[in-house]
């Protein structure tokens, strides 16, 4: 190899390592900025009153205190709100899994007149943005007598087309041979759905479950409109009413937001890969 | 494979020629679809039609049967209301402030994390984590960051000798402040989708390009960008639709103020419906929103169609 070529190669390698260092610095720099809000939340939640409003930010409190946590847990309904949210998100997720898998099975594996039309109406309804329906939905839920009931919160959340759309993509690829073999063995249609199909569709069903759970846990406007008594609030609404009703205390609010974000953070840390997968399926299949 | 497939086809044909089986399959098909179709028609289709109906009436919230048909009056009133235009421009401003950074930063981070680096999993976790937070948590944390007297931002801004604004109480800086919090909150969604799109590009394309001497910028322009176009279009449109419907952050962080400086379309709709109880009018605003977002989806399909 000529010296010229070696030099060119060497400078390319040096170039690459400088770039790598730059890349590390940029990515970890952005990551550090991303962590600032978390750090400030934790810092404020542990600060004694005397340090709270200091002009110079003390990132690490000189005398960390848990008084704000004790206060939130004993003086607010935060645990009740957590349970309410868990209940609403849990039921929504179960209903969505059941209803969406049933109709996706029917649309892909059973032949009946009109199914193509039904599927295209469901897909077209993707274009209906969540907030457009808020007003007529409110009058409907109110006519049905479901205001301030969990059914009023949950039912509209189960009507979304995303899950049907997602599952149809997967159910379509299910091998015909397996289905016919099961029929020859005398399986009923319902057994083909419940014993053959569902167990084979674990990963799209998990993805849908996680996505539905997180998004219904985080709902804000709809529960705010439907739920009207403090004891029935979900976490997001409870937090906001807490911030406007209590005497303004940053430490208290940050302790409350930390407690409120813990459950989903635990879910996230345990099931990161599944959750990220659920989002990616949406991006590639949607 | 071919024998079972032929057998399957024969079995299929036999079943399709049997009227009794066909009737049963139709019945089962409808029964399986019924639960979802019920919630779908009652809680999605019906309100959509009712919304159109309501928007053409002076809606009586207490006695709906006494509502008066006013045809397009609500829409005319909307177009003549300066507060509507204010909310529309604020919404467009918010879209402009959030969509380009969310797509471009998401792309930059995805390309960075795609490299063979130490701690990729950690980085992915950090960038994605805010996405699982609820809007109330995000808004409340950022209120503390922006706090005028003890917030971190203002302290460091003052350190470099600039007099900082009272972010959330400022007509100029209120919307950018909300936008910054939103970028932190939702960047992870775009990042994750774009990362997966980048990982879907076959490495042999880059190897072939390298043989032709295409590195760095040229490889990015000739391979990465065109290969990622569908994902970029998807992310941009989803982001546009989400940003256009901004509500929670504004509701909690600024309440639309100061004055009406951060009022957005959904805020405007919410106030018309639930503060002033003008349901017909609010339904008209909702339909306006619907038409704008359908137009955006159409442009999306056109773009996606061109890239296919």
pLDDT of residue B256: 86
> Is residue A140 within 8 Å of residue B59, measured between CB atoms?
no
Position A269 confidence tier, pLDDT thresholds 50, 70, 90 = confident
SS (H, E, C) B57-102: EECCCCCHHHCEECCCHHHHHHHCCHHHHHHHHHHHHHHHHHHHHH
Query: CA A221, CA A230: separation in Å to the nearest integer?
Result: 16
Query: CA B129, CA B185: separation in Å to the nearest integer?
Result: 8
Phi, psi of B58 (to 5 degrees): -85, 90
B-chain residue closest to A249, CA distance: B144
| Chain B residues in contact with A23 (beta carbon < 8 A) | 112, 115, 117
> Is residue A251 within 8 Å of residue A44, measured between CB atoms?
yes
Determine, for residues A110 and B28 on separate chains, whether the beta-carbon distance falls below 8 Å.
Answer: yes
Query: CA B91, CA B97: separation in Å to the nearest integer?
Result: 10
Which of A87-91, A186-190, A227-231 has maximum average pLDDT? A87-91
- Host H or E run for residue A13: helix A3-45
ipTM score above 0.85: yes
- Stretch B113-140: mean pLDDT: 91
- Stretch B130-158: mean pLDDT: 90
Determine, for residues A283 and B293 on separate chains, whether the beta-carbon distance falls below 8 Å.
Answer: no
Cis peptide leading into residue A253 (ω within 30°): no
Report residue B206 as tokens: 């880059």
The per-residue pLDDT for range B260-301, each reduced to its tens digit, is 999 999 999 999 999 999 999 999 999 999 999 888 878 877
Determine, for residues A140 and B43 on separate chains, whether the beta-carbon distance falls below 8 Å.
Answer: yes
Query: CA A193, CA A235: separation in Å to the nearest integer?
Result: 36
A-chain residue closest to B234, CA distance: A283
Report residue B53 as tokens: 């109906």
Does B84 contact A at CB distance below 8 Å?
no
Q: Which of B114, B132, B177, B299 to mutate to test the interface with A (most CBs of A within 10 A)?
A: B132
Mind telling me how many Å the CA of A234 is from chain B's nearest CA? 11
Residues 233-252 of B with CB under 8 A from A: 234-235, 241, 245, 247-248, 251-252
The per-residue pLDDT for range A203-223, each reduced to its tens digit, is 899 989 998 999 999 999 999
Nearest CB to A283; choose among B234, B289, B290: B234
Helix (H, G, I), strand (E, B) or coil at A61: coil
For A192, other C-beta atoms within 10 Å of its C-beta total 21
- Stretch A13-37: mean pLDDT: 87
Query: CA A226, CA A219: separation in Å to the nearest integer?
Result: 12
Nearest CB to B150; choose among A54, A112, A156: A54
| Chain A residues in contact with B140 (beta carbon < 8 A) | 239-240, 243, 253-254, 256-257
Determine, for residues B44 and A264 on separate chains, whether the beta-carbon distance falls below 8 Å.
Answer: no
For chain B, what percent of residues have pLDDT higher than 70? 97
Determine, for residues A136 and B144 on separate chains, whether the beta-carbon distance falls below 8 Å.
Answer: no
| Chain B residues in contact with A100 (beta carbon < 8 A) | 36
| Chain A residues in contact with B54 (beta carbon < 8 A) | 135-136, 139
- Stretch B67-94: mean pLDDT: 94
CA–CA distances in Å: residue B21 to residues A193, B4, B27, B257? 17, 22, 10, 64
Q: What's the number of CA atoms in the CB half-sphere (13 Å) around residue A178?
A: 13
Query: CA A119, CA A102: separation in Å to the nearest integer?
Result: 13
Position A245 confidence tier, pLDDT thresholds 50, 70, 90 = confident
Report residue A35 as tokens: 């962590």
Query: CA A244, CA B251: separation in Å to the nearest integer?
Result: 12
- Stretch A42-54: mean pLDDT: 87
> Is residue A101 within 8 Å of residue A198, measured between CB atoms?
yes
Phi, psi of B69 (to 5 degrees): -70, 120
pLDDT of residue A284: 65
Position A246 confidence tier, pLDDT thresholds 50, 70, 90 = low
Determine, for residues A260 and B137 on separate chains, whether the beta-carbon distance falls below 8 Å.
Answer: yes
Query: CA B303, CA B237: separation in Å to the nearest integer?
Result: 10
Pairing mode, strands B68-69 and B57-58: antiparallel
Position B306 confidence tier, pLDDT thresholds 50, 70, 90 = low
* pTM for the predicted model, two decimal places: 0.90
pLDDT of residue B133: 93
């Amino acid at each position: 190899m000529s010296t010229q070529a070696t030099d060119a190669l060497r400078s390319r390698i040096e170039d690459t390592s400088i770039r790598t260092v730059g890349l590390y610095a940029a990515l970890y720099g952005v990551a550090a900025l991303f962590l600032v809000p978390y750090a400030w939340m934790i810092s404020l939640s542990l600060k004694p009153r005397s340090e709270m409003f200091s002009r110079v930010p003390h990132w690490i409190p000189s005398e960390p205190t848990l008084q704000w946590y004790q206060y939130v847990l004993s003086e607010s309904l935060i645990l009740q709100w957590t349970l309410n949210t868990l209940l609403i998100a849990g039921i929504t997720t179960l209903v969505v899994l059941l209803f969406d898998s049933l109709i996706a099975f029917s649309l892909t594996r059973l032949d009946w007149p009109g199914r193509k039309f039904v599927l295209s109406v469901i897909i077209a309804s993707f274009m209906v943005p969540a907030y457009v329906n808020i007003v007529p939905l409110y009058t409907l839920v109110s006519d049905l007598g479901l205001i301030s009931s969990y059914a009023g919160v949950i039912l509209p959340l189960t009507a979304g087309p995303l899950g049907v759309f997602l599952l149809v993509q997967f159910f379509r690829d299910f091998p015909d041979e397996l289905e016919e073999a099961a029929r020859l063995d005398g399986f009923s249609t319902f057994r083909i759905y419940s014993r053959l199909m569902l167990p084979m569709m674990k990963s799209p069903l998990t993805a849908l479950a996680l996505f539905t759970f997180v998004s219904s846990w985080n709902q804000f406007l709809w529960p705010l409109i439907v739920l009207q008594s403090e004891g029935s609030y979900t976490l997001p609404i409870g937090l906001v009413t807490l911030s406007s009703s209590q005497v303004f205390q940053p430490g208290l609010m940050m302790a409350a937001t930390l407690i409120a974000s813990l459950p989903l953070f635990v879910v996230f840390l345990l099931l990161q890969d599944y959750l990220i997968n659920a989002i990616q399926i949406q991006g590639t299949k949607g | 494979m071919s024998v079972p497939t032929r057998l399957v086809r024969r079995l299929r044909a036999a079943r399709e020629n049997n009227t009794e089986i066909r009737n049963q399959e139709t019945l089962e098909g409808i029964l399986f679809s019924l639960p979802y179709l019920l919630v779908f028609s009652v809680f999605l289709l019906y309100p959509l039609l009712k919304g159109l109906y309501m928007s053409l009436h002076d809606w009586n919230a207490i006695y709906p049967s006494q509502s008066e048909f006013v045809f397009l009056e609500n829409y005319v009133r909307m177009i003549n209301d300066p507060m509507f235009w204010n909310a529309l421009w604020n919404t467009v401003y918010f879209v402009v402030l959030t969509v380009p950074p969310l797509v471009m930063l998401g792309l930059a981070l995805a390309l960075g994390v795609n490299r063979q680096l130490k701690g990729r999993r950690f980085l992915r976790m950090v960038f994605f984590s805010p996405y699982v937070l609820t809007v109330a948590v995000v808004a409340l944390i950022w209120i503390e960051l922006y706090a005028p007297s003890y917030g971190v931002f203002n302290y460091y801004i003052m350190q470099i000798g600039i007099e900082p604004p009272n972010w959330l109480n400022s007509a100029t800086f209120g919307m950018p402040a909300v936008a910054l919090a939103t970028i932190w909150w939702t960047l992870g969604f775009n990042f994750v989708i774009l990362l997966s799109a980048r990982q879907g590009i076959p490495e042999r394309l880059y190897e072939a390009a390298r043989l032709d001497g295409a590195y760095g910028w040229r490889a990015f322009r000739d391979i990465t960008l065109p290969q990622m176009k569908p994902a970029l279009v998807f992310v941009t449109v989803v982001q546009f639709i989400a940003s256009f419907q901004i509500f929670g952050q504004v509701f909690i962080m600024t309440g639309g103020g100061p004055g009406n400086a951060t009022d957005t379309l959904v805020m405007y709709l919410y106030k018309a419906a639930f503060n002033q109880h003008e349901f017909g009018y609010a339904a008209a605003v909702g339909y306006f929103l619907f038409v704008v977002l359908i137009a955006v989806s159409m442009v999306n399909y056109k773009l996606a169609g061109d890239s296919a």
